[in-house]
Amino acid sequence: MAAISSNDLRNGITLQVEDGLFTVVEFQHVKPGKGGAFVRTKLRNARTGAVIERTYRGDERLEQAIIDKRDMQFLYRDGEDYVFMDQTSYDQVPVPAARLGEAVNYLKETGTAMLVLHDDEIIGIELPASVELRITETEPGIQGDRVSGARKAATVETGLVVQVPLFVGPDELIKVDTRTGEYITRA
């Protein structure tokens, strides 16, 4: 692991701290009029998502974790595991559903995602900003249902329930925002 100075911290850097792996969410260099400079940080646990605040002395040495991001294709579900294939080496990797969190709502077979690894352990997943999903169940759309802002529930192929406009019907392809889980448009 590489040692870096607390003065070199930037958003997105992952640190190996005694409590585990943490990603820098926010940092602020403070130079008071009296005393030494320090760095105030907000760190997000890479495994659990919990946010903590830490203060480090100026020029304190910290261990930077080496994070590897690999482009993977989701192949299929195997019980509780999701099986991904590395796009470069074609190795298949089973990933427990608990490691993926809410991302399982947006994964469909042959879809791609960026898996985040640390020492060959999968610690997270990065999805594209939006995905196209087919509606499996909703009330049929009726011609003329164009009321501004009116919504209805629709279940997509992954099991996620999305609020869609009234004119969207069953078996249609829609775009869903993976950050908010909201309907964007018809695909």
Q: What pLDDT does 124 receive?
A: 81
pLDDT at 53: 92
Q: Which residue has the tokens 């005393």?
A: 35
Same domain membership, residue 134 and residue 106:
no
Phi-psi region of 144 (alpha: psi -120 to 50; beta: other; left: phi over 0): left
Q: Are 58 and 75 contained in the same domain?
A: no
CATH of the domain at 31: 2.30.30.30
Same domain, 28 and 53: yes
CATH number, domain of 118, equals 2.40.50.140
How confident is the model at residue 85, as a pLDDT? 92
Same domain, 17 and 52: yes
Q: How many angstroms separate the CA atoms of 90 and 105, rounded?
A: 24
**b/e for 39-69, b at 16 or more Cβ within 10 A?**
bebbbbbbeeeeeeebebeeeeebeebebee
pTM of the model: 0.70
Domain stops at, among 126, 160, 176: 126
Domain count, the chain: 3
Q: Are residues 121 and 135 in the same domain?
A: no
Domain-terminating residue out of 79, 103, 126: 126
Say whether both 26 and 74 belong to one domain: no
Boundary residue ending a domain (64, 80, 106)? 64
Host domain of residue 177 = 130-186
Residue ranges in the chain whose pLDDT is less than 70: 1, 141-148
Are residues 92 and 55 part of one domain? no
pLDDT tens, residue by residue, 36-62 = 889 999 998 887 778 899 998 888 889
State whether residue 92 is helix, strand or coil.
strand
Same domain? For 6 and 58 the reply is: yes
